[in-house]
Structure 1
Amino acid sequence: MVDEALARVERAARESYGRLLAFLAARSRDIAAAEDALSDAFGAALSTWPRSGVPDKPEAWLLVAARRRLIDAARRRQVHRQSVPALIAAAEEASERSAGPDGLGDERLKLLFISAHPEIDAALRTPLMLQTILRLDATRIASAFCVSPAAMARRLSRAKNRIRGAGIPFEVPAPDELAPRLDAVLEAIYAAYGSGWDDVAGDDPRRSGLPEEALHLGRLVVSLLPDEPEARGLLALMLHCEARRAARRGTDGAFVPLSEQDCSLWSPALCEEAEHELAYAAEAGRIGRFQLEAAIQSAHARRAVTGSTDWEAVALLYEGLVLLAPTLGAQVGRAAAIAEARGAPAGLALLEKIDIQATRSYQPYWALAAHLHARLGHTTMAGEAYQRAIGLCDDAAMRAFLRRRAETVMK
């Protein structure tokens, strides 16, 4: 019974945390307080459910526990006399809605756009969304943004206080205010998808379900802004990647790179949906980063039809992507595509033009460098690059794949 209860708490945290937090924060208008209350509620569940059993409606139980703590905290602080009545009203609403057929609904999209408010430092909008709505921890976010975990935690705390202190309205912005906030929202959804996608083996429970959540939120954004081509571009990108999930690992659990994947394992339905979104986006005539990235994945998907990859087309798309959004990932991707289309020397030349300081902890750079050096017969340099790539990899299946490649080169 204890193990079942603990597993159910973990499942609730994985499946419901973001929706619960969005509901509580929207009504308390205090993200930090909602986080504290929800954390206490999960702590109470850990101590109570193993003794009394898992409630029939775990999400409703957690919500009731969290709103009690919010009300108690508001009373203790004696802030905003109107807060307590508002929270009590929210609690009554929550009880009614959690008992209904549709449950609480999903207000995470609202909180995403709130976190992208102009009053919030632009550099903190995406990290704030990743932590509060998409439940990435500060350490992982800090690594992605090349700052220390302590510094990122302080910045995120300030951003939450800013939302509370500035009286930012907890509502979906007016139509003319949505577009300026869209880029940050799309970045956060993409980062959440990528974090879950990187966990090839599914060993990290903190990232479990992130790709599905990101896809759900991507569809919500498209439904809210159907004429925004970049929203459809991001959805197409995630769908193309998701279509290949079953092919990413062999029957023995080994990592399989895209170029070696069995196309028959790719999902035709998801590929078709991705192509539909990409075609619709193209009609707007406003090209963007996510549309280009989706077009690159579309070019790879053509291998299921033609039997080969048009690397020159992929390389040209990467050229456009680097011009539009010269991220480190885009530059490394371009070098890889150029190597396939025009030879390893051309790809390595591009790779070596990238600022080495920016690549020190970027695992894909070292994996590609190792691969290209190996193709050119640079055994020592390939071995050193493989060791760097292996050291920077936190996925067991990927590490095993790189070790096999390194052993082949060093024989």
Structure 2
Amino acid sequence: MTRETDESAARAAAETAARRSYGKLIAYLAARSRDVAAAEDALAEAFAAALADWPKNGIPSNPEAWLLTAARRRAIDAARRKQSAALGEGHLSLMAEEMEQAASEPEAIPDRRLALMFACAHPAIDPGVRAPLILQCVLGFDAEAIGSAFLVAPATMGQRLVRAKTKIRAAGIPFRVPERDALAPRLEAVLDAIYAVFTEGWSDPTGADLRRRELSSEAAWLGRLVTQLLPDQAEALGLLALMLHAEARRAARRDAEGDYVPLAEQAIALWDQATIAEADALLRRAQALGTIGRYQLEAAVQSAHAARRHLGRSDWPAIVMLYDGLLALTASPVVAVNRAVALAEVQGPAAGLAALDAIGDAPRIADYQPYWAARAALLGRRGDREGADNAYALAIGLESDPALRAFLQKQRAALGAL
């Protein structure tokens, strides 16, 4: 095997380990010291060491254990250099022994990701940064990706994340799942982070990108874990129902040529009926608990779309009502765009366009592709070719998915047939 091949194989092995174990290793490294930033630095150095060592000495049989050992050594060395009063020599020795045992017995490495997520959702952490912090700590997302997901400038998001990690260390926030009476208040941030993980994976509709597909599976796993932990929390049930409804339609999102297929044109036969049934059962359990929240309403929207199996069409009046409730809860421009599209199905394109006009000045809406795609489609339905063409041009320029961009280009080209 050539050195180039060795390096390529080592890099692939490191990427696989990062994809599968990043959050698990960060959670384990930081659980005792409560220094998330130091754990991230140590793990980054361990990955760098792996890329230097593995091409020469071979990929270890257990990359996760190798990385934990390397990161553990770097974390302890860094702590000793700082001579931290909070980490005395005895504490460091105990930490070393624990990690040495975990590295030698891979099955002994406990999965503390959920505990890390609830630590990031501690009341001492600013509410607006809890979900972004979970994404960075558990999945290694950078500030640019997180800022994009939460519509915040990357530099601003980076500063917020640094402050939050400093707070965890300074306040000595414990890495554990809190007692039940302290659990529910942190739940919103945890659910928001899980859903952000899912949507990141969902952005790869064909599942061709292994990392993104694994993110969807990871989010569903975390969602199930939370529902087991909190079986009487309606929003946890609602989130899992929402993710399952979306996952049930994955096979229908692209045709045989890989082209984008909008929801209204998807082949119902390709939908996973068992998964839809499970999602609806979860939603009924949530509704029986007597509280309403964002994720339940969003799951109910997806259930109303799935009604096409029986009605031959989506239940648009119900969808409008659900979006009315969502908008009242969230005041989200994303929800407002979806509501405008649904309203157009019930009252016509003029009503939908009026609803879009009402949010045209919302922050960052000018960079939100679905706003322009919705506007283009409704202008086209109303017969305004020039307006639709301009809106399609903006939507196409903002879209990064080649298949969706091709779909928008076809819709734009079809304006000539009006």
TM-fit CA distance, 1:374: 0.8
Q: 1:70 aligns with which of 66, 69, 75?
A: 75
Change (3 A) 1:83 1:382: farther
Compare 203-212 and 278-287 and name the one that shifted more.
203-212
Q: Give the fraction of aligned pairs with identical amino acids, expressed as a percent.
A: 54
- Give the residue type in structure 1 aligned to 2:376: A
Where structure 1 has 5 or more consecutive residues not aligned to the other structure, the ranges are: none
Q: Measured at CA, do residues 122 and 376 of structure 1 come closer, stay the same or move farther in structure 2, by a change above 3 Å? A: same
Shift of 1:72: 0.5
**Could you tell me how far 1:61 is from its partner in structure 2?**
0.7
User: 1:240 Cα deviation (Å)?
Assistant: 0.4
Aligned residue for 1:168, secondary structure, equals: coil
CA distance in 2, matches of 1:87, 1:327: 47
Q: Map 1:255-404; keep pairs closer than 5 Å.
A: 255-358=260-363, 359-404=365-410
Alignment-derived partner of residue 407 in structure 1: 413
CA distance in 1, matches of 2:142, 2:416: 38
Structure 1 residue 240 corresponds to structure 2 residue 245? yes
The answer to whether structure 1 residue 52 and structure 2 residue 57 are counterparts is yes
> Distance between the aligned counterparts of 1:226 and 1:97, measured in 2?
31
- Worse-superposed segment, 303-312 or 91-100: 91-100
- TM-score scaled to structure 2, two decimals? 0.93
Distance 1:37 1:156 in 2: 18
Aligned match of 2:153 in 125, 148, 155?
Answer: 148
Alpha-carbon offset, residue 110 of structure 1: 0.8
Q: Which TM-score applies when normalising by structure 1?
A: 0.95
- Mapped partners of 1:397, 1:117: distance in 2: 40
Do residues 26 (structure 1) and 26 (structure 2) align? Answer: no
Distance of 2:21 and 2:239 partners within structure 1? 24
Aligned pair count? 411
Partner of 2:91: 86
Contact 1:240 1:274 survives alignment (8 Å): yes
**Could you report, residue by residue, the CA deviation over 1:199-219 in whole angstroms, capped at 9, with x for unpaired residues?**
336677764522111111111
Indicate the residue corresponding to 1:193 in structure 2: 198
- Letter aligned with residue 82 of structure 1: L
> What are structure 2's unaligned runs of at least 5 residues?
none
Structure 1 position 146, deviation (Å):
3.3
Using the TM superposition, give the Cα deviation of residue 88 of structure 1 relative to its aligned residue in structure 2, in angstroms: 4.0
Is 1:225 matched with 2:230?
Answer: yes
CA distance in 2, matches of 1:381, 1:53: 60
AA in 2 matched with 1:65: A
Deviations 1:17-64 (A, max 9, x none): 111111111122100000000111111111111221111111111111
Is 2:221 the counterpart of 1:181? no
Report Cα offsets for 1:324-344 as digits up to 9, x if no partner.
Answer: 222112111111111112211
Does 1:114 pair with 2:128?
no
Deviation beyond 6 Å, 4+ runs, structure 1: 203-206
Residues 291, 338 of structure 1: alpha-carbon distance in 2 compared, 3 angstrom cutoff: same
Corresponding residue for 2:217?
Answer: 212
Is 1:28–1:83's contact at 8 Å kept on the other side of the alignment? no
